[in-house]
Structure 1
């Protein structure tokens, strides 16, 4: 099936008041599991490759992007390809040479005025090439290499008035907001501020994005979508499923050396996780 655009999937979900899930791709097996999970659930999904994943692959975007694109094209499910948490301007521009319809340009660690300037330039560049741009305002902590961040600390969450001004100044197509989740959570214990989500939804004219959804319980995700969240990012939950399956297999068969033996159950575990999130949404 031809790739669909992230903007198309997110806009349709926002119009229907439902969520659309975006899953992080690190390995070929991640991409295969996302496609298989979407086919099982019978709904669309977004495959997203982060700057950290590109770094893992030696700093080269082309190979992992081509692999994810090929898997998406071969799938019977409607799938989009998204480049996530991009800090490097060079990597942003590399998206134009691959099949990405969207990029999350992350200038959230910069002071507000610098964030606006850098993001507005990324939006101008992207829109000239038909690329949909997501950005972040607030502090969704938990990324590798960052100091610990309390998702409920003062000043961390996204302010609705500032969000409205930010969207107007930058022209972004979607906004990732800090509402109580955190990246890299392995336990689903996050508590979201649903009142804040509703106020953000009312303040900005673009879809809202929830990062760190792996740590958010099912009922909290349902309530977040009802309150106004649209794009739901999932990464660590796939890695937890993958690693858990590998560990279980190797504990039972420690002499195994053929990686296909344990990658099969690892991929199956990720597929079930993807289907679970998609059925939830």
Structure 2
């Protein structure tokens, strides 16, 4: 029996084994992905938002070429109950599993539910119902994102949901500070408050996401990720052994992303808008940001991505809806089946364009090459689908009761920035 076959036998979590009993796809907990990046050192896993099927195919092919562990994810806004993508929480694992089996993908893959947003206390009860359903559908990792709420409520909601419905074996991401660019930047105190409070309740996240200056969607300015702020917060959290999750990589140049890998504890980086645009055939710069013409319109590269006729239909549809710029993401849902119905050569070039871009990012920017072998070795050494937590409890639970959480939260002075809809 090969190492891959042994890992397949012991490394897949129980929900994956149940719904894909005969599969040869190594779908694993996000914990193993995080550990592999840590072991290699200064390595970041691409977490690709699979807004369409071609992104999933292309990224998996790229990860196989790079021998890199990988995360395929979809955010709640993209693939939840009120989604703008055809790929969703309930079919993404099935698509990943099918593509892995079809293409002979043998690298470890985590399937991540990103930005499971909790915006108010009333969202907690429905989340307790919905989250188990997405694990039933094959999700192996989740981000509980209550960052829209005040810090004390963020912490309390996270504790409630994670303790009640997130499996202990699953990869876990938490978030402090909404992702909204240069406004409402996360602070050391806010991040420490969240991680300390979770630690006191025996919750040990793999990743923490910050508002460190980036934005979702199309990055029009040079503000981008604030590397020094990120490094400062990660250093303050060192003893809690939590890694960083970097959101909003589209529009940040390769040098800045390499700097994130070298100077911070980031092991997961979300790539969404860039892959969407690349799959469609939109002209992009070397780091995946769409290039506009003089009138502010996207430029379609002839004979790349979707057919010229399909692109014309997409442009007309967007115009009729009044969609411009970042709102082109809303084309994913009405056009998914139309894109799947294109000729094979069109479908293949869409995936291939994603593959080439993702491979370059994995190997030359994120330093993730050959992390697949490390993840498989860790699975075999663990002998289980769950490597357990990276950290241990060092905070006193008695100091982190709901009452004391409210009192501590009231002392935090960070600015949350402007109100608004910052969903990706």
In the superposition, the TM-score normalised over structure 1's length comes to: 0.86
2:64 matched to 1:39?
Answer: yes
- Aligned partner of 2:374 in structure 1 is none
Q: 1:219 to 1:64 in 2, by over 3 A?
A: same
Determine if the alignment matches structure 1 residue 8 to structure 2 residue 32.
yes
Mapped to 2, the partners of 1:64 and 1:123 lie a distance apart of 22
Distance 2:88 2:70 in 1: 24
Residue 173 of structure 1: how far off its partner (Å): 2.9
1:61, 1:152 → 2: CA distance?
30
Asked if the contact 1:28–1:67 (Cα under 8 Å) also holds between the matched residues in 2, the reply is: yes
Q: Which has the higher strand share?
A: 1
Matched, 1:237 2:274: yes
**Counterpart for residue 351 of structure 2:** 267
Task: Provide the secondary structure at the position in 2 that maps to 1:21.
Answer: strand
Whole-angstrom distance in 2 between the partners of 1:253 and 1:202: 48
SS at match of 1:199: helix
- The equivalences for 1:111-150 within 5 A come to 111-126=150-165, 128-141=167-180
Write out aligned runs for 1:1-281 (5 A): 1-15=25-39, 16-54=41-79, 55-56=83-84, 61-72=89-100, 74-87=104-117, 89=127, 90-126=129-165, 128-141=167-180, 151-153=181-183, 156-170=184-198, 171=203, 172-185=205-218, 189-204=222-237, 205=240, 206-228=242-264, 229-244=266-281, 248-249=302-303, 250-251=307-308, 259-260=342-343, 261-279=345-363, 280-281=365-366
Report if the CA contact (8 A) 1:69-1:81 is conserved.
Answer: no
Q: Highest relative contact order (Cα 8 Å, sep 6+), 1 or 2?
A: 2
Q: How many residues align?
A: 270
How far did 1:24 drift?
0.5
Structure 1 unmatched ranges of 5 or more = 142-150
Contact kept? 1:140, 1:183, Cα under 8 Å: yes
TM-score by length of 2: 0.58
In 1: Cα distance, 2:231 partner to 2:357 partner: 28
Secondary structure, counterpart of 1:80 in structure 2: strand
Q: CA deviation at 1:230?
A: 1.8
Deviation at 1:121, TM superposition (A): 1.7
What is the deviation of 1:93? 2.3
Helix, strand or coil at the partner of 1:62: coil
Paired with 2:311 and 2:226, the residues of 1 have a C-alpha distance of 45
Determine the C-alpha separation between the residues in 1 that align with 2:257 and 2:160: 32
Q: Cα gap change, 1:259/1:189 in structure 2, threshold over 3 Å: closer, same or farther?
A: farther
Which moved further from structure 2: 9-18 or 121-130? 121-130
> The residue matched to 2:162 in structure 1 has which SS?
helix
Greater shift, 62-71 or 170-179, is seen at 62-71
Which has the higher Rg, Structure 1 or Structure 2? 2
Q: Which residue number in structure 1 is paired with residue 6 of structure 2?
A: none
With over 3 angstroms needed to count, the CA separation of the structure-2 counterparts of 1:100 and 1:188, relative to structure 1, is farther
CA 1:186/1:163 → structure 2, altered by over 3 Å: closer, same or farther?
A: closer
* Contact 1:39–1:75, Cα closer than 8 Å, also in 2: yes
Distance (Å, rounded) in 2 between the aligned partners of 1:188 and 1:237: 16
Q: 2: CA distance between counterparts of 1:234 and 1:110?
A: 25
Aligned counterpart, 1:144: none
Q: 1:176 to 1:199 in 2, by over 3 A?
A: same
| Structure 2 SS opposite 1:29 | helix
Q: 1:84 to 1:91 in 2, by over 3 A?
A: farther
CA contact (8 A) 2:73 2:114 kept: yes
Q: Helix, strand or coil: the match of 1:214?
A: coil
Cα distance in 2 for partners of 1:66, 1:100 equals 10
Cα deviation for residue 10 of structure 1 reads 0.9
Counterpart residue number, 2:384: none
CA deviation string 1:121-159 (max 9, x = no partner)? 222135544222212111213xxxxxxxxx223xx1111
